[in-house]
Amino acid sequence: MLLSVTALLAAAVTLLPPLGAQAAHAATAGARESRPVYSYDHAIRESVWVDTRVDGDADGRTDRVAVDIVRPREPAQAGRRIPVIMDASPYYACCGRGNESQTKTYDAAGNPVRFPLFYDNYFVPRGYATVLVDLAGTSRSDGCVDIGGRSDIQSAKSVVDWLNGRARGYDAPSGGRAVQATWSNGATGMIGKSYDGTVANGVAATGVKGLKTIVPIGAISSWYDYYFARGAPLFDSGPDALADAVESDAARGRCAAVQRRLVEGAPRTGDWTALWSARDYVPDARKVRASVFAVHGMQDLNVRTKHLGQWWNALSRAGVERKIWLSQAGHVDPFDFRRGHWVRTLHRWFDHSLMGIDNGIEREPMADVERAPDQWSTDRVWPPSGTRQTTLRPRGGDTPGVGVLGTRRAAPGTTETFTDNPALSEADWAAQLGRSTPDKAGFTTGPLRRPLRLSGSGTVTVTATPSTTSAHLSAVLVDVGPATIRHYTGDGEGIVTHERRTCWGSSTEGDSACFKETAADPAQVDHTVVSRGWADLGTYAGDGKGRPLTPGERYTLTLDLAATDHIVPAGHRLALIVAGTDAGLIEPPDTTPKLTLDLHRTSARLPLVGGAPDATTGSPPAGLLKKGVAEPEPGRQGDRMPSARTTG
């Protein structure tokens, strides 16, 4: 549970270290946590340019990335080396970080002044260095942005290498004197939300030595899955638009060839190409040496939880030490949905991973899951033991398009039909679930006799016959029944921001540790979308390429459902909706198909705890559903910049 406002204020005050206190070890032998014993006001602030050993802009010189560092002065004076918390980002100049869109600032001589977010304010007094890296092609770095490719990942990996004495650093963007990280003990933890967390995933997947832990927040694990869902385009732009939005003015003039490769390598057909293979980190999870503390909003419609699910499963198979938080929010940082608990937990995680303090956090429950706004549960492992992939099947009902979901298969030849309507979304379908409409087919269990928990990733296999040469499909799981949830389609994606501030560490005149308070933004609903997945039916062959469809021919394909952890209460119903274009989330096909579902050959495999639902039989009465979460406002599926969709 979140602390009360009074307790939060009290906790924040206790975090302020005594400025001017005599230097001491931040973590002495046998200590349970690092303590704020170092002066933040007198910390060393410096910039270094690290050679990436990549010539991304093809100018004949390897690129250097700008690295801004703030570290306590006292350890180096005493001959002690310290660990590093690093956030590598493309957003430090163009867009800012955090709920208040903070950018880096510098004094007249170019020395760093403000470091966005609270990591420096809180952790530097506790004996950590904070290192913020401008990815190649952004802010003060050389090179070009390549959206998750070699240049992006090498930007951060090279800094880990430099911190461990394996790469070259300089005190200037070109030329200059060599600089060594003699103050670093090499132990590095990477953290970041969205694009920043994505880079952390990618660097960890290289297996680089010295990277001890990563904390990816709402992060991508495969860039193809950010822009496409099995061939169905998710946004109206590709990686070239994002690169154009984040790269510096200087990079924009020298990186035309890189931009062209991003366009050519990422066709809007949705075909899998070599470009996407190079930006898929999941197959390299076996190389990961770092522990992983993953955080994701289960209603994140920007970086969807498919990214989390496939990455988590791959890390599990590789035996990586893991921890996870799942919130009800959208694309939101835990500092803004569970601030007090987050700061304390992150502190303990870094102490364990980077300072080697035996605080027991790795022996505590692996998972924290938000069940209702500010109400959390824990699990020893995630998904919990007893979770099994269970097959549920749709059957026809008494009304066209309003069917039954259960364990029994529909009779051969049973069908349902719908016509794609690109103007309608999952919210529209769910609101009309109990009614026959021409745009979807819906199937529900009877009222559940006991709660049903879904935990993990699922799939829906559909057999459909199109009337035209192209078709996009959506599969949506819905909890049918009243609930209070975070208003994830609102402006704050589940939070509201107040003007009051609380402080989390030490401040200087140019870098405040005080941030605006946030609170849950609740919504009363009659149904909740639990998970969703999309696909282009033309990818039925499963080889990563789309094909024109033959009208009247039957096709089968499987859609991936985004990972979730949701409890459907007793008395509620679980529903599966199959429809066409999910407005605002995928782009429509170039035709308007009518699709006929073969119910005998259609099924859902869901990660259910304790097996199939115990439910009464029967279809929902017409008019059962009246309202759900409001439709997302245009552009509110995550921040959108001109001609691009950002991930942060």
SS3 sequence of 313-352? HHHHHCCCCEEEEEECCCCCCHHHCCHHHHHHHHHHHHHH
Q: Which of 296, 307, 331, 527 is catalytic?
A: 331
**DSSP-assigned letter for residue 363:** G
- Single out the residue of 133, 27, 127 nearest to residue 71, CA to CA: 127
Residue among 194, 222, 327, 619 flagged as catalytic? 194
Q: Show Cβ contacts of residue 118 under 8 Å, excluding neighbours closer than 6 positions.
A: 335, 343, 504, 505, 513, 515
Catalytic residue among 120, 152, 280, 300: 300
Q: How far apart are CA 232 and CA 634, in angstroms?
A: 19
CA gap 625, 521 in Å, rounded: 22
What single string gives the DSSP state of each residue in 184-210? EEEEEEEEEETHHHHHHHHHHTTT-TT
Yes or no: say if 207 and 290 are a contact pair by the CB < 8 Å rule. no
Q: What is the identity of the amino acid at 165?
A: G
Catalytic site includes residue 331: yes
Cβ atoms of 80 and 103 within 8 Å: the answer is no
Written as one letter, the residue type at 369 is: V
- Is residue 218 a contact partner of residue 637, using CB atoms and an 8 Å limit? no
Helix (H) / strand (E) element for 133: namely strand 129-134
DSSP string computed for 267-287 = -TT----HHHHTTB-GGGGGG
Distance between first and last Cα of the chain: 26
**Amino acid sitting at position 517:** E
* Residue in the block written with tokens 């939101």: 332
Q: Which amino acid is at 337?
A: F
Q: List residues bridging with 594 in a β-sheet.
A: 419
Cis omega (within 30 of 0) on the bond before 383? Answer: yes
Residue 411, burial from CB neighbour count under 10 angstroms (0-12, 13-18, 19+):
exposed
Q: Which two tokens stand for residue 150?
A: 């070699």
What is the rounded CA–CA span in Å between residue 299 and residue 477? 13
Measured distance CA(607)–CA(368) in Å, rounded? 18
Both tokens assigned to 382 = 């995630």
Write down how long the chain is.
648
Residues 6+ positions from 14 with CB-CB distance below 8 Å: none
- 194 is an active site residue: yes
| Active-site amino acid positions | 194, 300, 331
